[in-house]
Amino acid sequence: MSVNQYTKSQLALRNGVEKSEIWIAYNGVIYDVTSSKLWKDGKHYEHWAGQDLTEELVDAPHDTGVFERMKVVGKLVVEG
């Protein structure tokens, strides 16, 4: 089974504005948070969807277990 791969540019379109999907990336994995009430309008507190949030979430008040409830869409790959 192959894993879908997306670039940062493709991820950026899934911010709830350009496209209806709301995606975020963390540690190289892209998650669909469209159905989460916490990501309404593509924003969760000071975090914006369509981005790699790996560095931003170092200081998050929750652990990485929060991602277990989210649907994995694919893998974030380096452009170029």
Q: Delimit the domains of the chain by residue range.
A: 5-76
By the 8 A CB rule, do 44 and 38 touch? yes
Apex CA 79: angle with CA 76 and CA 80, to 5°?
A: 155
Give the architecture (CATH level 2) of 5-76.
Roll (3.10)
Cβ neighbours, 10 Å, residue 29: 17
For tokens 């309008």, name the residue.
41
**Distances from the Cα of 9 to the Cα of 6, 12, 14, angstroms:** 8, 5, 9
Task: Encode the chain (80 residues) as per-residue pLDDT tens digits.
Answer: 678 999 999 999 999 988 889 999 999 999 999 999 988 889 888 889 999 999 887 777 676 778 888 999 999 998 76
Which amino acid belongs to residue 69?
R
